[in-house]
Amino acid sequence: MNIAVLDDYQQLAAGLPAWKALPASVRIQTFSTPAANEDELVRRLEPFQVVVAMRERTAFPARVIERLPNLRLLASTGLRNASIDLEACKRQGVVVSGARGARNGRTSTSETALALILALAKQLVPSHQALVEGRWQPVLASGVAGRVLGLAGLGNIGAQMAQLGRALGMEVIAWSPNLTAARAAEHGVRAVSCDELFEQSDVLSLHLVLSERTTGLVSKARLAQMKREAVLINTSRAGLVHEEALLEALQERRIAGAGLDVFWQEPLPASHPLLKMDNVVLTPHLGYATLENFTAFYAGVVENILAWIEGRPVLALQGA
Write out the catalytic residue numbers. Answer: 237, 266, 285
Coil, helix or strand for 4?
A: strand
Using alpha carbons only, give the angle 187, 293, 170 rounded to the nearest 5 degrees. 25
Residues 6+ apart with CB under 8 A from 215: 239, 240
The H-assigned helical ranges of the chain are 38-45, 62-65, 86-92, 105-121, 124-132, 156-167, 181-186, 194-200, 220-225, 243-251, 291-309
Q: How far apart are the C-alpha atoms of 217 and 239, rounded to whole Å?
A: 8
Coil, helix or strand for 219?
A: coil
DSSP bridge pairs for 241: 218
Q: How far is CA 218 from CA 136, 152, 194, 195, 242, in A?
A: 36, 10, 11, 11, 6
Residues 6+ apart with CB under 8 A from 94: 65, 71, 72, 73, 74, 88
Could you tell me if residue 107 is left (phi over 0), alpha (psi between -120 and 50 degrees) or otherwise beta? alpha
Residues 6+ apart with CB under 8 A from 47: 2, 70
Q: Is the peptide bond before 267 cis (omega within 30 degrees of 0)?
A: yes
